[in-house]
Amino acid sequence: MDEGEKLVTELARLGKASVRQIMLGGKTCIEKQPVSETELLFYQHYADRLNARGIFSPAITALDADEKRIVMELIPHAVELAELQTPAVFQHLAGIHAMEVEDPSLPFYRAYWTKEATVSALAALALPPKPADIFHAVQVQSAVIFAGNRLLTGDSNPGNWGRRANGELVQFDWERLTMGCPSIDLAPLIKGMGNPAQYEAYAGQYLACRRRVSDVPTIAPETLVSHIAMAKAWIVIEVVNILVSSRHRDSAMYLDWYRQQLPTWCDEIAGLL
């Protein structure tokens, strides 16, 4: 596991909700409280529809919207990042992305990237001028990855997946359910910062699955590759600002990892923008 993967695991523990195992009806379940309005939206309006298509989330035993509490199935087996680089996962995500959001005014997570967020993160990273300029340039173009009315998981990192005892892949933690470009869900599945060749491979696999599960007009491969690079850059800004604001105990280690990786990565992706 490299520093990037460790970072994903660490940040997954910073949520505000209490998550614990409880016994209910003789079964071990997971209780989560308080649950965000966005996650309640998912389980009330989307979970059953997706489960019917073989896109699985944990079964809900109890849901109390007033108390913002859910009790759900325990998913017993963790999943490694390598297990998420398969056609089954691309098909899972493509099935979600095929769903059009009928009412965008509902409490979806609102993903965006501001100039102020970029300035704050780059101040913490203290990158050389050339890679810093790349981040500013990507931010200016970034609205395109947040546009559209197609459903996204919003947080496809490896810590939000597991397997049932029967082997079925299940995705959980739907607090960032949102709308936008598929790149937001694809970028977290690429180890570390990745490179353009990996983005091309992922885009090709995803688009092949998307054509099988949906008649929604597809995105051009070269456009999706560019959007994956944008999403990777946005994730850096998000993560760095979370590290700084949370005063994470290992912030210095992770910031150093980014400082080592980002100059070369920015050179590699400059031609995609």
Measured CA to CA, the distance from residue 73 to residue 87 in angstroms comes to 25
Torsion of the alpha carbons at 91, 97, 99 and 104, rounded to the nearest 10: 160
Q: What is the phi/psi pair of residue 139, to 5°? A: -60, -40
Domain 3-14+76-272 is in which class? alpha beta
Identify the pLDDT of residue 24. 86
Contact 162, 170 (CB under 8 A): yes
What is the average per-residue pLDDT within 22-43? Answer: 93
Name the more confident of 143 and 15.
143
Identify the pLDDT of residue 4. 53
Q: Which of the 8 DSSP states describes residue 16?
A: S
SS3 state of residue 86: coil
Identify the pLDDT of residue 192. 94
pLDDT band at 90 (very low <50, low <70, confident <90, very high): very high
How does pLDDT run across 115-124, given as a tens digit for each residue? 999 999 999 9
**pLDDT at residue 1 is higher than 50:** no
Could you tell me the two tokens for 56? 């699985």
- For residue 28, list its beta bridge partners: 23
Of the candidates 154, 9, 177, 174, which has an alpha carbon nearest to the alpha carbon of residue 79?
Answer: 9
**pLDDT at residue 7 is higher than 80:** no
Q: Which residue has the tokens 């995609």?
A: 272
SS3 state of residue 9: helix
**pLDDT at residue 225 is higher than 90:** yes
Report the 10 Å Cβ neighbour count for 204: 14
Identify the pLDDT of residue 214. 74
Q: Which residues contact 222 (CB under 8 A, 6 or more apart)?
A: none
Contact 2, 81 (CB under 8 A): no
What is the average per-residue pLDDT within 38-54? Answer: 96
What is the average per-residue pLDDT within 43-68? Answer: 96
